[in-house]
Structure 1
Amino acid sequence: MTVVIVCFPDGSELIVEGRCDGHIALAERGSRGFGFDPLFVPSPGAFDGDQRTFAEMSDAEKNELSHRGRAFRALASHPFFATLEFPCR
């Protein structure tokens, strides 16, 4: 789970979260990513029951499913941020 909190100058706050459920594989698989990526399998249904670990997915696939990706997409969809131009867009 990722939680992002933004505090605005007027004292208001924006809190968004991203969650990615899944399970731990019995053995490491894949060579991409870092940390637990070779062991973490996102919950079935993400890609029609796909059982690949994050380390077996492309960066785009992982970012679509990851807790960080979900949290920052939620942040970017907030009206304040939706009007800003980010280098990554």
Structure 2
Amino acid sequence: MSENQLTNNAIIYALLSLNSEIILQKEYLESDDVPEEDIDNEQDILDDLEQAFMEFVDVYKSRCKADKSLPDLDELLNSQL
């Protein structure tokens, strides 16, 4: 699916979901619940989530330039749903 086929709402929901998953993954990695042998794999998952998040941030920023009615990225990520 190309960037032009994604709706603004889809991008917003993806950003919010990825942001939540990153927070949860960081909390999990910081906990004592991760088996020693899984730490590298769990860190790789976090890295993948952060990479996907940054890709959606880039798409969202370009959308914000074209559509001034979209909320600022910081406002979006700090808002309550």
- What is the TM-score with the length of structure 2 in the denominator? 0.32
Q: Which has the higher contact order (CA 8 A, sep 6+)?
A: 2
Q: Pick the structure with more helix per residue.
A: 2
- What is the TM-score with the length of structure 1 in the denominator? 0.30
